[in-house]
Amino acid sequence: MDRVILHCDANSFYASVECLYHPELRDRPVAVSGDAQARHGIILTKNQLAKRFGVKTGEAIWQAKQKCPELVCLPPDFSLYVRFSQKMRRIYEQYSPRVESFGLDEAWIDLSNPGVSFADGVRTAGELRARIREELGITVSVGVSFNKIFAKLGSDMKKPDATTAIPRDRFREIVWPLPVGELLFVGPSTRRRLARLNVTTIGDLARCDPALLQRHLGKNGLLLCAYANGEDVSPVMPADERMAIKSIGNSTTPPHDLTCEDDARCIFTLLAESVAARLRAEGLRARCVSISARTTDLVTGSCQCMLARPTSLTGEIAQAALRLFDGRFSGHFPYRSVGLNCSHLTPDDMPVQLDFTGDEERRMHMEQLERSIDDLRRRFGHQVVQRGIVLRDAECARINPVEDHTIHPVPFYAG
């Protein structure tokens, strides 16, 4: 029996919710964007009218307004979007307990049960679209297929407020002619590498020699080839099952460009503090530290390193980040934004080998001290305790890397 899986994607989610609360803007091009004055001036999402002018997610506000001078830009209200996301999920859970969120505005729903046909899935998709439109005032596009990858692909094919079905007996004629970049997990870098192999459509990928793909893309090449051939068998995670955390990170666009190594030390220390605090809160330690940096020309680079021992200490994470920065980025100032990420996570209750030098005992005492600082910040605010290196820059000292960092619930795909 084939599975029946739906993928629901709310159309222009943030902008659609804002237009509900600002009905006077429904017939105008609207975008939800960052704060240009705080140097976070990019488009987060836009409505259909703005799309017609060519406004794109991720571009600068000034670029968007060159295309659409009448564009109305609103600040994001994440608590409002979370509330609508929860309302949608409650509707989804009336049809199946197997609902897996993919960001605030997307979710997979597994309807598979004895007696549930593919046609039943298509009918349910139409019913879901009607209910969300009538009960919440926004629209969703729904993909229906026999696996998660193609269900997601279907929800992207027709927008807004549409159902796209990709049954097993027709997936080749529907899916294979599409550009390979339409397949989930084929990003710009992978698309360029595939293009060098003359793989430009999903069908090309499906028919490509697996050994060739593995040679150029590693295990990921084999996985993408399987996806293109409809061989995704990953489950839709039940509503009460948490996805394993794969990494913890943070990034920021500071109040001014980073122009020297002191600026970099200040910002990476701030980021390391927030990431280390989240590691401790989740009961985790990290073995891998990676950083990214974006120039004022919006060119982004990244690099990573493995640590000798898993850690959740701010100082060790910051030192690793700064070594990476000095080795890769320090000669190319200025930088507009930077990010720090920790991965290869292990539980913090894993046994630790002590040493004769007392270094491991010192690290344990340092972790206890940082947990005490975490408690102080939870009670009195993040900036009740600040490191001296941060205070050298008054503007950066006002950054709150914990409360200013919005974490979107986008689970790592468990394929």
DSSP conformation letters of 320-389: HHHHHHHHHTTTS--EEEEEEEEEEEEETTS-----TTSHHHHHHHHHHHHHHHHHHHHHH-GGGS--HH
Using the predicted structure, report yes or no on whether residue 37 has a pLDDT greater than 90. no
Polymer length in residues for the chain: 415
User: Rounded to whole angstroms, how far apart are CA atoms 244 and 406?
Assistant: 19
Helix or strand or coil: residue 273? helix
H-assigned helices in 110-228: 118-136, 148-157, 171-175, 188-195, 202-207, 210-217, 219-228
Residue 212 has what pLDDT? 95
Could you tell me if 192 and 147 lie in one domain?
Answer: no
Whether residue 414 is contained in a domain is answered as: no
Among residues 166, 188, 215, the one where a domain terminates is 166
Q: Is the pLDDT of residue 275 over 70?
A: yes
Whether the predicted pLDDT of 411 surpasses 80: no
> Which of 20, 164, 165 minimizes the C-alpha distance to 83?
20
Q: Determine contact, residues 47/15, Cβ cutoff 8 Å.
A: yes
From 114, 134, 166, the end of a domain falls on 166
Q: What is the C-alpha to C-alpha distance for residues 395 and 391, in angstroms, rounded to an integer?
A: 9
Q: pLDDT band at 36, cuts 50/70/90?
A: low
Regarding whether 386 and 252 lie in a shared domain, the answer is yes
Same domain, 35 and 150: yes
- Average pLDDT of the chain to the nearest whole number: 89
| Residue 39 confidence (pLDDT) | 55
- Note whether 126 and 266 are same-domain residues: no
Read off the pTM. 0.70
**Of 118, 137, 166, which residue is a domain's last?**
166
Q: Which of 18, 59, 100, 106 is catalytic?
A: 106
d(CA 276, CA 248): 9
Share of the chain above pLDDT 70, in %: 93
My answer on whether 276 and 341 are in the same domain is yes
| Residues 235, 300 within the same domain | no
Q: State yes or no: pLDDT of 404 exceeds 90.
A: no
Give the total number of structural domains in the chain. Answer: 3
Do 265 and 209 lie in one domain? The reply is: no
What are the backbone dihedrals phi and psi of residue 142, each rounded to the nearest 5 degrees, phi first?
-125, 130
Residue, of 351 and 211, whose pLDDT is higher: 211
Token pair belonging to 49: 């009218």
331 pLDDT above the threshold of 50: yes
What CATH number should be reported for the domain holding residue 280? 3.30.1490.100
Task: Return d(Cα 329, Cα 346) in angstroms, integer.
Answer: 29
pLDDT in tens, 116-153: 999 999 999 999 999 999 999 999 999 999 999 999 99
Q: Would you call 106 a catalytic residue per the annotation?
A: yes
**Does one domain contain both 209 and 223?**
yes
Does 304 share its domain with 276?
A: yes
Asked whether residue 324 falls in the same domain as residue 285, the answer is yes
**Residues 372 and 273 occupy one common structural domain:** yes
Domain membership flag for residue 58:
yes
In a domain, 188, yes or no: yes
Q: How far is CA 178 from the centre of its chain?
A: 24
CA distance 288 to 282: 16
Question: Do 206 and 279 lie in a common domain?
Answer: no
Please report which confidence band the pLDDT of residue 386 belongs to, taking 50, 70 and 90 as the band edges. Answer: confident
Band (pLDDT 50/70/90 cuts) for residue 24 is very high
Supply the range of the domain harboring residue 64.
1-98+106-166
